[in-house]
Chains A and B, each alone.
Chain A
Amino acid sequence: MRGLILCIVLMLYSAVASAVIETYQFDTPLQQQRYQAFIEELRCPKCQNQNLSGSDSAISKDLRRQIHHMIMDDKSDIEITNYMVARYGDFILYRPQFNGQTAVLWLSPIALLLLGLLVWWRMASGRKRSKSTVDSSLSVAEQQRLNELLGDDASGEKSGDRR
């Protein structure tokens, strides 16, 4: 029984330990919302792929504290974003601003989509063309001759040919 209780207590403890520890005070719910949005949207500079809210590294703690400080200082979202980008570059934004360096990142999906459409269109039109040439190149006389050559099972072959 004591073992079970201990087990439950330990499980509760681990749930607390994995959550972000600091609690910041805000004057308005909006400030809290902005804080949450920032720590979700900004990337921990020390980690490869974690946002500030999910990271326990020292630098993430500092950045969370800085964001809280700036929000309480009535800094605008743009000011906070610019502050972070000036120090940690576009890397810190999970949705980087569009500029010369990030253009490839933003445009390559569109380019790939266009490429895909182009290939698809070429293949589709190619298929249509080959189909239409089969239809038009055979005159009625030629079709008859073909049927003669193919003999008895012409009907079966013809449908196969058409496929």
Chain B
Amino acid sequence: MQRFKLFLPLIIFAILAAIFFGVERRVLTGDYVPTDLPSALVNKPLPEFSEPALDDGRIVNKSHIIGEVFLLNVWATWCPTCHYEHPFLVKLAAQGVKIVSIDYKDDAEAGRRWLAEKGDPYTVTLFDEDGSLGLDLGVTGAPETYLVDAEGIVRFRYQGALDQTVWDREFAHRIAELNVRGAVQ
């Protein structure tokens, strides 16, 4: 017992080292991003809103966009990461993924030009000029992507750019699950 006590600090060190090593490994593989903030909206209904559409200014509200599983992508022309992300969204849309978007705290003209030049993967783009819808969603910056189910419940939020790796790791299985659940009902 006395000898065991002598080794206690070493044992505690080994346990802590193992924990930190594990966390660091998950940071390196991208499974855990320490700056990510868990969304307060997950498993809660999408907040009610009525915002103008970017293209023609018609008012869009929540009931217009829910009904099937879709992505809600927050972007802006001032956001460099959104430039990187955009081609992948175009690809996703071509594969039949429904993407609704929010042009967040942006210039409407610049936003329209962006979609005209780079292609428009969105079924509709809401224009959130002052960031009020972003505030209701708990957006902290762009890009962010929410996964919303057919009932309008937010199931997942990803902060940062989507690409094939992120899609395979974070979205593919969740969407498959939601579609299975939708089919059963």
Residues of A that sit less than 8 Å from B by CB: 45-46, 48, 57-59, 62-63, 66, 85-89, 91
Contacts and interface: CB of A to CB of B under 8 A. Distances in A.
B140 A45 contact: yes
B141 A58 contact: yes
Contacts of B38: 89, 91
Which applies to chain A's interface (DSSP): helix, strand, loop or mixed? helix
A116 to B, nearest CB: 14
Contacts of B136: 87
A85 B138 CA distance: 9
A86 B40 CA distance: 6
Contacts of B34: 48
Interface residues of B, number: 17
A87 B140 CA distance: 10
A89 B37 CA distance: 9
Interface in B32-67: 34-35, 37-41
A121 B38 CA distance: 41
Contacts of B140: 45-46, 59, 88
Which applies to chain B's interface (DSSP): helix, strand, loop or mixed? loop
Interface string B141-170: 100000000000000000000000000000
A87 B135 contact: yes
Contacts of B86: none
Given A58-B105, A59-B141, A66-B135, A89 B39 contact: yes
Contacts of A48: 34-35
Contact of A87 (B40, B105, B141): B40
- Would you list the 10 A-B pairs with minimal beta carbon distance, nearest first? A89-B40, A87-B138, A45-B140, A46-B140, A62-B131, A59-B140, A88-B138, A91-B37, A46-B141, A45-B37
Given A45-B138, A85-B40, A88-B40, 16 more contacts: A45-B140, A46-B141, A48-B35, A58-B131, A58-B141, A59-B140, A59-B141, A62-B131, A86-B40, A87-B40, A87-B41, A87-B138, A88-B37, A89-B37, A89-B39, A91-B38
A91 B138 CA distance: 12
B137 interface: yes
A9 B40 CA distance: 46
Nearest to B42: A89
Nearest to A86: B40
Contacts of B41: 87
A86 B131 CA distance: 17
A10 B40 CA distance: 43
Contacts of B139: 59
Contacts of A62: 131, 134-135
